[in-house]
Amino acid sequence: MTVERGRGSGGFWWWMMQRVTGILLFPVLMVHYVVTHLHTSHYVEYDKIAARVATPAWKFLNILFLTIVLLHGLYGVWNVLLDYLSKRPVLRAVLYSIVVTIGLALYVLGLVTIVPFSA
């Protein structure tokens, strides 16, 4: 079995997505960390957090964070699995389906939590 490499193999865009999401992950994570952990009072109050999370800007940031983390993390998991499954196409297809299903389930769960949230 030969493995195609290069731009024509279809892997370039996934490789690029992994790099872009890795780069975007850092600033989004820093904004989340600074606002959530550094600019809060010593006591966590539900009303203050709920008011912030319910704003459209924070909903957008949380959906962006969710999307970036899932794409980056699940593609990383898939690459690790590919290292061990390169010669087993049936097992590859089954595990790919499992990874995609887990990703979609987590994304839907995240959206169902973030989008309808109101203070």
Per-residue pLDDT tens digits for 78-106: 888 888 877 778 888 899 999 999 999 99
- The answer to whether the CB of 62 falls within 8 A of the CB of 35 is no
Per-residue pLDDT tens digits for 20-59: 999 999 999 999 888 888 877 777 788 888 888 899 999 9
Q: Which CATH number fits domain 10-114: 3.20.19.10, 1.10.287.3510, 1.20.1250.20, 1.20.1300.10?
A: 1.20.1300.10
Distance (Å, whole) CA 99 – CA 56 = 30
In the chain, what are the domain boundaries?
A: 10-114
Q: Is a pLDDT exceeding 80 seen at residue 8?
A: no
Q: What pLDDT sits at residue 55?
A: 92
| Helical segments of the chain, H only | 11-33, 46-53, 56-85, 89-114
CA angle centred on 28, ends 81 and 113, rounded to 5°? 75
